[in-house]
Structure 1
Amino acid sequence: MSAAPKPPPLDRDPELAEVVSDAMDVVSNPTDLLITLLALTLAAAVGVLVTRALKQRIGHQRPVLLTVVEYLCTPVLTLLTLGVLSLFGGSFGNPLIGLAATLLLLFLVIRFFGMTVELLFRPTLPLKIMLRAVTVVAWLALVVGVFVDRSQPLAKLYGASFKFGGINVSSQGLVAGLIGGVVIAIVALWGDKTVTKLLRRSRTLQPNYILALSRIFSVAIWIAATLAIFAASDINITALAAFGGALGIGLGLGLQKLAASYISGLIVLFEQSVRVGDNIVSNSVSGRVTRMTVRYTMIRTRDGVEAIVPNDLLTNNVIVNQSWSDRNLRLVCGVLVKGDTDLELARTLFVEAMNAQPRVLQEPSPHMYITGVNDKGIQLDGHFWISDPENGQNNVASDIYDAVLGAFRKNGVQLVAS
């Protein structure tokens, strides 16, 4: 549905000119015109009411059948009703009803094409509504084209054009761009989703590559769709390029940071310096990466809040990636004991407390170190490793301190009072 079909001028199609002329003769007769309007109203009412009843009966459990009914039922029933009325002859068989039936048949063809597009590409709700609307617009454009040679105002409207920034735009081009643009947007959206699904099904590509490639393909698809819409609107792309260049310079100066974030996002995704699930420290933000986009990276901190970090900060600053080579993370718990403490006993109790925690790894095994000696006492630090830092770090340290304090009290190891 790239554009509404343009009928031939009446002076080039004698048969069409004769049909329209006969129909206009009916319009000049008030009685025949009234009967015709009543017949058309009755036929349309039958189509609308029966369609509404069928939709209620079908419900939303059978979406394909519901779509067929919504697109085709009303024009088909209207045509059938007009056909039945024309069997009675007399005023119901006049040329105006015949012309109306012909136009309704063309409307049915347009609606059938719109229905096919919707069933094939499954557009989103806004695009679905727009698609159904443009089928009506395409039909109205076709009707206007039929009568354009008989009305000077319609001829002016049909051939109107204006300039915008050096770009010539015509009324026919706008209608064609609207009709074709909706269909092109639906196909582009379907292509975007399809490429993304195919990339996500890949078992060889890393998640970062999948995200980066899907964004690149998405941009390429929508650029091609935009060019196709301009072509359908009969807009000179060369003139548009000059306008777009000036606009691009202005936007580029105002959106430098945003552009830097997008470019940095592609760099981060292809380099895989940061991945979803990694535990990183970026400036004052520390936590687990939960989501990555081309523009930003989302980090869930240890406080349970989400920090949104622009990707240009990840490429321009030092990032500590605690999960780069593996997910193991070393933590430290320390206590200050009195100078006359049995260090061997204290170290043994501390190591036992660390080994008792299920999240503490046995390889590398926990170790104790004397990290300081002063007039207040001796500093003992226990070093241990965990492999699931995303489950919390302070909680495992707290469990170790609880076990150490209980063991120290039981065995008479005293801490230095602060």
Structure 2
Amino acid sequence: MSATPKPTLAKDPELTEAVSDAIDVVSNPTELAINLLVLAAAIAVAVLITRKLKQWVGHQRPKRLVFVEYLATPVLTLAIIGGLSRFGGVLANPLVGLAGSLLGLFAVIRLLGALMEIAFRPTPLLKFMLRLVTVVIWLAAVFSLFEDRSKLIAKLYSAQFKVGGIALSSDGMLNGLISGVVVAIVALWADKSVGNLLRRSRNLQPNFVLALSRVMSVAIWIVATILIFTAADINLTALAAFGGALGIGLGLGLQKLAASYISGLIVLFEQSVRVGDNIVSNSVSGRVTRMTVRYTMIRTRDGVEAIVPNDLLTNNVIVNQSWSDRNLRLVCGVLVKGDADLTLARELFVEAMNAQPRVLQEPAPHMYITGVNDKGIQLDGHFWISDPENGQNNVASDIYDAVLGAFRKHGIALVAQ
């Protein structure tokens, strides 16, 4: 992208005359000292008044506070020196007039910055960068006025150098800095807005929302990066070669991390695992409480949060106990003596299971004889619950407690293990 041509003094006669008159005043040391002292005093007074205004506005009115922080100091300084120059004398000169024009330009630039901060609500770091950029833009505008009169400033504007085969210029870097902050703020706002829009959708599953938001986020920041490099006059072809070599190095070192991200997108789009599912992954068993593109968080029965990289979910067998529905079958077993009344024992066991409010009646609890040996007869009760996230051992404990009480009451003896 070619640099935007600057309004040089030679092309603006009125500006040329104003700067020339101001330089004539600078040649008089006495007038220059007085004007600088007055300007410094005006800025100091404006800063003090701005502090008082910030305290008066307070943080309860953030939008007004933003305007005060951006505009109060330049506007008050402009008002003070404008009022003093009306009294005539040494202050009624072209230098003060030029300073007033530059302050007016600064106020306009700061106003645009304030409007952008209120509209896009950037992060604290980007907010600081935006306020710094408004100053940089103003300084660049001031320096451009004197580019034709200063060889040093003209040299700084035209300076060029290379870094790793990439040609850079001071003018391009300045444009890149300014455009970079603005584009980053807009990109961050767009990223948040797209994420919020997807989350408010009633037609998308949570896994799709997370996956699409990440894909859109990557796309937004890729476009933002291209715009920033274009504004900085960086050759994308040379950058592609450099980025390719860097990408190979990073790919070899971060291949496991990249595998986790790609696996995360696969899991999210396939919905093989969802938040709220009860799964068993390797030696980890529990309920999925959170999913990101890189990892899945599982809360185990012990109340411990296990962080499982997503590549393990795609490269290993996963038992999803909530795939078709949230119902989970549990088993409670006892070993009774061989001469026990099995019919009564099974009835008492079924009654104990039915007495628990968390045990489902459909499918209904069942009793099975699962083993016979010289020690006794193994009875297993199978029952279903629909809220495994509320605990599994606790409901089994309540059933065992009820079974033991019923067996003691009816004289059914257990076999010592």
| TM-score, normalising length: structure 2 | 0.97
Q: Separation in 1 of the partners of 2:44 and 2:4?
A: 28
Alignment pair present for 1:389 and 2:372: no
Q: Note the C-alpha offset of 1:400.
A: 0.7
- Counterpart of 1:356? 355
Alignment pair present for 1:108 and 2:111: no
Q: Counterpart of 2:27 in structure 1: which amino acid? A: S
SS of corresponding position for 1:150: coil
Partner of 1:127 in structure 2? 126
- Indicate yes or no: 2:220 matched with 1:206: no
Q: Could you tell me how far 1:16 is from its partner in structure 2?
A: 2.0
Paired amino acid for 1:199: L
Contact 1:350 1:382 (8 Å CA) reproduced = yes
CA contact (8 A) 2:368 2:379 kept: yes
Distance of 1:174 and 1:207 partners within structure 2: 42
Q: Deviations over 1:227-277 (max 9, x none)?
A: 011111111112211111121122222221111111111111111111000
Aligned residues with identical type, % of pairs: 77
1:40 aligned partner: 39
CA RMSD, Structure 1 to Structure 2 (Å): 1.6
Partner of residue 157, structure 1: 156
Aligned residue pair count: 417
For 2:294 and 2:2, the matched residues in 1 are separated by 37
**Aligned partner letter, 1:304:** G
Residue aligning to 1:303: 302
Residue aligned with 2:135, SS? helix
* Structure 2 letter corresponding to 1:374: N
Instruction: Give the letter for the 1:39 counterpart.
Output: V
- Is residue 223 of structure 1 aligned with residue 228 of structure 2? no
Q: Select between 13-22 and 329-338 the one with higher mean Cα deviation.
A: 13-22
Partner in structure 2 of residue 375 of structure 1 = 374
TM-aligned CA deviation for residue 216 of structure 1:
0.8
Structure 2 unaligned segments of length 5 or more: list them.
none
Cα shift readout 1:357-403 (whole Å, capped 9, x = no counterpart)? 11100111111111111111111111000000111111111111111
Q: Once superposed, which parts of structure 1, at least 4 consecutive aligned residues long, lie more than 6 Å away?
A: 2-6
1:265 aligns to what?
264
Question: Could you report, residue by residue, the CA deviation over 1:153-205 in whole angstroms, capped at 9, with x for unpaired residues?
Answer: 22222221210111111111111111111110010011011111111111111
CA distance in 1, matches of 2:215, 2:2: 29
**Cα offset, 1:350, TM superposition:** 0.8
Secondary structure of the residue aligned to 1:149 is coil
Preserved contact between residue 4 and residue 138 of structure 1 (Cα < 8 Å): no
Normalised by the length of structure 1, the TM-score is: 0.97
Structure 1: which 5+ runs fail to align? none
| Alignment CA distance shift 1:134-1:3 (3 Å) | farther
Give me the whole-angstrom Cα distance separating, in 2, the residues matched to 1:4 and 1:99: 26
- Give 1:22 deviation, angstroms: 1.9
Which SS does the other structure have where 2:415 is aligned?
Answer: coil
Which residue in the other structure is 1:337 paired with? 336
1:44-95: per-residue Cα shift (whole Å, max 9, x none)?
1222111111110010111111111111111111111111011011111111
Read off the aligned partner of 2:366 and give its amino acid letter.
H
- Once the two structures are superposed, residues 86-128 of structure 1 have per-residue CA deviations (whole angstroms, 9 ceiling, x without a partner) of 1011111111111111111111111111111111111111111
Asked whether the 8 Å contact 1:3–1:180 carries over to 2, the reply is no
Q: 1:163 to 1:4 in 2, by over 3 A?
A: closer
State the alpha-carbon separation in 2 of the partners of residues 42 and 204 from structure 1: 62
Q: What SS does structure 1 have at the residue aligned with 2:148?
A: helix
Q: Any idea what SS the aligned residue of 2:229 has?
A: helix
Alignment of 1:318-333 (within 5 A): 318-333=317-332
1:152 to partner: Cα distance: 2.4
Q: 1:94 is aligned with what amino acid? A: N
Separation (CA, whole Å) in 2 of partners of 1:348 and 1:332 = 16
